[in-house]
Amino acid sequence: MASEPQGGGLTEYIQHHLEHLVVTTRPGAGSFWDIRLDSIVVSLVLGGLFCLWFWLLARKASSGVPSKAQALVEIIVEFVDTQVKDTFHGDRRTLTPLALSIFMWVFFMNAMDLLPVDLAGWLVTTFRGHEVAHHTYFRMVPTADVNTTIGLALSVFFLVLAHGIKAKGAGGFGKELLTAPFHAEGTVMKVVLSPFNFLLNVVEYLSKPVSLAMRLFGNMYGGELVFMLIAGLMISWIGFVPGVLFNTGWAIFHILIIALQAYIFMMLTIVYIAMAREHH
């Protein structure tokens, strides 16, 4: 990611910053088989940092006066556990850690949007030169990549199915797909309505990962695009100082979006699992 692509121009600048660091596993087979290495690396590093942070604080946790870091973690854990308790009325010993992991991981990935968009380009330019940076691509916001959000949403989708089957059994879960939401008396009417019930349930279940993925991706992609636009205008004509002020203002507002999207993703996950475990 270069600070300013050769040839100049705001359009070229933004297009350059929207390119991913791609590894092609099957040349000539199309972009479906491409691996977006930047999204994978940043996601794994942030997930590892989250786990390391909480693990270190858990080892040093004390029952006395907590440190500021321990107090912060306790506030986060209590906040997440309260949301789970208010939404899910079953055994939450596994659901609270899941909700906490989702919230913190998505928050960390979203927060990468607050880093300067030209940071990667500046590092490459400093150590390898401008020409190398011009041909190097690296996007630092994993959740602005639709592949990342779809991967997260599919993970939630399979968890929802697993919780539904665990709560109702494979037979009960399959029966519910054919007998709800339209109930009927008599074998004939049940058979007649079963295709409609199955279709409605399939649409309902598939809409959940789609809405999760698209909501998170749309908000983070739009926010990243605004940062790129401000940075490009700062380079071209609005000047450094006004550009920094505009970027700072948008960053302050964007903090709310970053936290809100992580919260929404977590809450919808809890709601979907709670719905899957309910018995009609």
Nearest-angstrom CA–CA distance, 136 and 16: 9
How many Å from the N-terminal Cα to the C-terminal Cα in the chain?
53
Beta bridge mates, 34:
24
Residue 222: Cβ within 10 Å count = 11
Nearest-angstrom CA–CA distance, 270 and 95: 8
22-24/34-36 β-pairing: antiparallel
Is residue 211 flagged as an active site residue?
yes
Is residue 197 flagged as an active site residue?
no
DSSP run (H or E) holding 258 = helix 240-277
Which of these is catalytic: 3, 110, 197, 219?
A: 219
141, burial (CB in 10 Å: exposed 0-12, middle 13-18, buried 19+): buried
Half-sphere exposure of 33 (CA within 13 A, CB side): 7
Which of these is catalytic: 215, 236, 247, 277?
A: 215
| Torsion angle of the four alpha carbons 89, 91, 94, 99, in this order, in degrees rounded to the nearest 10 | 10
Is residue 110 flagged as an active site residue?
no
Catalytic center residues: 211, 215, 219
